[in-house]
Amino acid sequence: MVNWKLTPRELASLEYKDFLWMTNAYADEEKRHNEQLRINAAHTAWLLGADAGSTFGKFLEKWGVIEKRVINTGKIDTKALYDKADRITEQLKLKGLV
């Protein structure tokens, strides 16, 4: 757990950017901790026979404990991207923003 050992007065005297940095650091640490707890609970369930016959990685992906890895095919439809950009530009012109 993140602990900067600040008194309430010291905490109140922090600049906003420093306070924001500290809260983001705390949130990131809590996120890692909670992710580890979810993986540990899933491992216990898997060991007890939940979804027998699959690997632990597939079990984690199936139940959404971790995100499924997406393989990038490397194919980008540039024509569709240009068409979308043109449509957005036209909408902006109609609203008088461009």
- Across the chain, mean pLDDT equals 85
The rounded distance, in Å, linking the Cα atoms of 1 and 34 is 12
Residue 3's pLDDT is what? Answer: 65
Q: Supply the pLDDT for residue 2.
A: 57
Q: Mean pLDDT across the stretch 15-23? A: 89
Please tell me the pTM assigned to this model: 0.51
pLDDT for 1: 47
Cα distances (angstroms) measured from residue 8 to each of 2, 13, 20, 97: 16, 9, 16, 47
More confident residue, 70 or 13: 13
DSSP string for residues in 59-85:
HHHHTTSSPPPPPP-----HHHHHHHH
Mean pLDDT of 28-33: 92
pLDDT at 9 over 80: yes
21 token code pair = 């940095």
pLDDT of residue 98 exceeding 80: no
Q: Max CA-CA distance within the chain?
A: 63
The number of C-alpha atoms within 13 Å of 38 and in the hemisphere containing its C-beta is 14
